[in-house]
Structure 1
Amino acid sequence: MSTDERARAWVDVSPSALQENLQTIRKSVGPEVRILPMVKADAYGLGVKEAFGALEPMDPWGYGVAAVEEGLELREIGASRPILICSPVPMESYIDAVESGLTPSVSDLDGLLALRTACRDLGRRARFHLEIDTGIGRAGLDWRRVAEWGPKLDDIVDSSLIWEGCYTHFHSADGLDEGSLDDQWRRLQETVARLPSRPGASFVHACNSPGALRRADLAGDMVRPGIFLYGGVAGAGLPAPTPVASLRARIVLLKEASPGSTVGYGSTHTASGPERWATAAIGYGDGLPRLLGNLGEGVVRGKRAPIIGRISMDVTVLDVTGVPDTGLGDVVTFFGRSEGEEISVEEVADHAQTINYEILTGLTRRVPRIWTDDVGY
């Protein structure tokens, strides 16, 4: 079993499934392309320390994060490979990045100047990647204005800065509009061709998970997989990953409900006849989306049971009338695999009117992550 009988709710996480998904990415892009697993947001909500332990034997080029603090945590865990910060860095944080040997991505000239100042103050060198905005708009130097900012790089980049790469981010790789990928890749290539030539500026990259799976021809020198590694479908028409995470909770109360009985805030479910209700020790305070009320399901003893009523902060009620052998202490799986049945993260996300990323990263600290391949449910 993956946890003890005292646990109210938890997430089972399979390290071998994570490794298998990375191998799928590697097979898609080929052995010569570097892999930068994204481990931001606590490894998409599943635990960065354990994810690092599973990914490190796979020999990635480095790791991708979104914040300096995440990079520092990786260093504390023991990561010695390059750590690329794939979001703009606050000016005051460049000092910490340089001290810990992190690689910032730079989205504007002011940021590059701040990085250079930090290097000079510390008497150290730092690597950086230049982010080019080819259409996503949220960060990066505008590809249309390269004639304005490109020549200024020569005045800023000195011996303290190691210009290691240039990259962009695909905004629609998860959809079927491959024309947008071609447009963004072309813009990136045209921009790089107009930049000053710098030794070491050899990395050109753009692909996230869907990009790496859909268009390996655009992999460039490196890909940055994220959601696919953690068991989330990366986009329309793409191969399904091996499921990585399973959200589970124990049944802590069983109740025989009479016809006309109601359940939950607002009494949104009324028993139409005799029903058997099971209260599971999990709620939106654990990250189970409230919108699953009267829509979602859980797996009990290999069978699906509907969620009834509104989900509370700490508990969720299911109708287990169709699972007559349900007992106290039984495990309910709200997403993931259990006894031959599976509820995907995408199914949960659809009911919750959101995306699979938000389901995983929305799991709260109250739910322990149990990294094991020895699951008995």
Structure 2
Amino acid sequence: MGGGRRPEGCTHGGGGPRGAHERRPARGAGAGERRDRRRPFRDHRRLDRTGFRPVLRRGDRRLRARSRGAAHLPAARRFGPARRRPPARDPAGDERLAGGRSLTTSLRWAEVDLGAVSANCERILGHLPRGTRLLAVVKAGGYGHGAVPVAHAAVEGGASGLAVATLEEAAQLRGLVDPEQILVMGGLLPEQAGAAAATGCSIGVSSRELAEALARSSTRVPVHLKIDTGMGRFGCAPEEAPGLAQQIDESRGTRLAGTWTHFAKSESDAAMTGRQLELFLDVLSRFDVGPGMRHACNSAGALNHPDFALDAVRCGISIYGCEWPGTRPALALRSVITHLKTVEKGATVGYGSLWTASGTTRVATVAVGYADGVHRARANRGHVLVRGRRAPLIGMVSMDAITLDVSDVPGAKVGDVATLIGQDRDEVITAEEVAQWSNTISYEVLTSIGPRVERRHSTHP
């Protein structure tokens, strides 16, 4: 096989491998070898050294001292001009964090006063007819404040029940109140009936399909039947309500625990609100079963029409201190200045170059943006508080930052707190004011506050 192949173990042209007793003799300094056992260069391999400079070895009289830097240069060239201090501000006009200032681990946070939530609930109940119950609406993470802490505070303030939009939100509140005192108001699919029944919570029902799916439950589910009186969103038709109410109450898997409707313009249209309530009461008068707990008013309805309160009201925005005179705002939104610079006339700031300096301006960059709830509609609109003064918001809102003109804020520096909602010294910015600058409503301002914003809860009497 393979005639040209050498036998295994053979490292040379012929013969087998050598045995241990056939070691080669040690190479000595024999003929043709130097004392270090290296053969000399063959003559034909020697380089032609013609023209090569002799190698300078240590001790050779021709060895020269190594040149040491610029010692041979004149003194003026050797040392150069005297060094100067760097300018107080770099060419970009940036300013630095003051030395010794401690850094916080969070650059954006919301201070939530749970004492304000409790006090607001007490104030709302004091405005309503004696015996009216309050369902505190804590959906959407307690309107951005934190659902569980707010729910605790609302109950302490007199709320007898809680209201949410989803089954997941209801699960977060387990153990705070009796499950039946938690109303799930949002629309559900019939396929969710089993999960809804398992919560033990009261379930808002607007359709026969969901009612029938819940009726197959092994335990009786408390149902609040919603009737559409003009909102046009959820709710069964008024003419369908009496029969559906009876079906719910007589089913083995459900019982009628409440009936409700929702006002569409209770903040601005008293006539329409009155017509909605009249229709609601007329439908209930045709029931052959008890309607359970009746409720129609949201915050605006409870404020403007306390005589429409019926058995209970559902208040959300007002328990957080918004849209109700005399209540205490429960949330302050703050961040910090992370960069300061001075720009000259004609300089632009932000995406789209929407703001141009009319003169020398100190520009502060604040570590909060539209990912944290500052709407892009705020470009060149409104103010932020710095050191108790209003600083105009300039330029476009970025995902992670906004920019302010702090030229009229003496002493403003990197690390200063910037208040977007709340009080700083004698100045206050409310969520309602921010809503005007953002072309929206206070509800959206609060619920838009993103998850990167740390919630810091405290209780002040």
TM > 0.5 fold call: yes
**Are residue 35 (structure 1) and residue 134 (structure 2) matched?**
yes
Secondary structure of the equivalent of 1:324?
coil
Counterpart in the other structure of 2:182: 83
Unaligned runs of 5+ in 1: none
- State the alpha-carbon separation in 1 of the partners of residues 453 and 369 from structure 2: 10
C-alpha spacing 1:163/1:261, structure 2 compared with 1 (3 Å):
same
- Give the Cα–Cα distance (whole angstroms) in 1 for the partners of residues 351 and 244 of structure 2: 61
Counterpart pick for 1:126 among 204, 221, 234: 221
Contact 1:299 1:338 in 2 (8 A): yes
Q: How does 1:1-377 map to 2 (within 5 A)?
A: 5-75=104-174, 78-81=176-179, 82-117=181-216, 119=217, 123-143=218-238, 145-146=239-240, 150-151=242-243, 153-156=245-248, 157-175=250-268, 177-198=269-290, 201-233=291-323, 239-373=325-459
Contact kept? 2:345, 2:360, Cα under 8 Å: yes
In structure 2, the gaps of 5 or more residues are 1-101
Letter in 2 for 1:286: D
> For residue 41 of structure 2, what is the aligned residue in structure 1?
none
Offset at residue 48 of structure 1 (A) = 0.6
Aligned pair in 2 of structure 1 residues 281, 30: CA closer, same or farther (>3 Å)?
A: same
TM-score where L is the length of structure 2: 0.75
Letter in 1 for 2:264: H
Code of the aligned partner of 1:139 = F
One-letter code aligned to 2:117? L
Separation in 2, partners of 1:245, 1:209 = 18
2: CA distance between counterparts of 1:152 and 1:268?
Answer: 57
Amino acid at match of 2:390: R
Cα separation, 1, equivalents of 2:265 and 2:103: 43
Whether contact under 8 Å (1:7, 1:250) holds in the other structure is: no
**CA distance in structure 2 between the aligned counterparts of 1:204 and 1:139, rounded to whole angstroms:** 16
Q: 2:230 is paired with a residue of what secondary structure?
A: coil
Q: 1:251, 1:279 within 8 Å by CA — same for their partners in 2?
A: yes
Deviation at 1:4, TM superposition (A): 7.5
Q: Deviations over 1:346-367 (max 9, x none)?
A: 1111111111111111111011
Question: Which structure's CA Rg is the greater one?
Answer: 2
Provide the TM-score with structure 1 as the length reference. 0.91
What does the per-residue CA deviation read over 1:6-32, in whole Å, with 9 as the maximum and x for residues that have no partner?
A: 321111111111112111110111340
Give the match's secondary structure for 1:63: strand
AA paired with 2:185? Answer: C
Amino acid at match of 1:189: L
The offset of 1:79, in angstroms, is 3.9
Residues 245 and 289 of structure 2 are in contact (CA less than 8 Å); yes or no, is this contact kept in structure 1? no
Q: Which structure shows the higher helix fraction?
A: 1
Which AA in structure 2 matches 1:130? L
Distance verdict in 2 for CA 1:331–1:28, change over 3 Å: same
Tell me the secondary structure at the aligned position of residue 332 of structure 2. Answer: strand
Maintained 8 Å contact 2:344/2:359: yes
Check conservation: 1:15, 1:54, Cα contact below 8 A.
Answer: yes
Report Cα offsets for 1:202-252 as digits up to 9, x if no partner: 311100111111111100000000011112215xxxx25311111111011
% same residue: 36
TM-superposed deviation, 1:301: 0.6
Distance apart, 1:180 and its partner CA: 1.2
- Larger RCO (CA within 8 A; separation ≥ 6): 1
Alpha-carbon distance change, 93 to 290 in structure 1, aligned in 2, over 3 angstroms: same
1:94/1:305 CA distance change after superposition, 3 Å: same
Do the aligned partners of 1:233 and 1:240 also contact (CA within 8 Å) in 2?
no
Q: How far, CA to CA, are the matches of 2:329 and 2:391 in structure 1?
A: 21
